[in-house]
Amino acid sequence: MFTPCGPIQAATFGGMDIVSALFVEGIDMRQVPGPATRFDLTGVMFSLAAPSPPPVTISPHLIVFIRCRAGEPGQGTMEVRFLDAAGEEVARNAQPVNVQPGKFGRQLVKGDMKYEDYGTIEAHVRLVGGPTVVVPLTLLPAPG
Question: 20-44: per-residue pLDDT in tens?
Answer: 999 999 999 898 998 888 899 999 9
Given a cut of 70, is residue 10 above it in pLDDT? no
d(C-alpha 80, C-alpha 11), whole Å: 13
Domain that holds residue 28: 2-140
**Averaged pLDDT, 63-76:** 94
- Render pLDDT for 91-102 as a digit per residue (tens, 0 to 9): 999 999 999 999
CB contact set of 9 (below 8 Å; sequence gap of 6+): none
Domain count within the chain: 1
The rounded mean pLDDT for the chain is 89
CATH of the domain at 44: 2.60.40.2550
> Which string of DSSP letters, residue by residue, matches 61-113?
EEEEEEEE-TTS--EEEEEEEEE-TTS-EEEEEEEEEE--TT-EEEEEEE--E
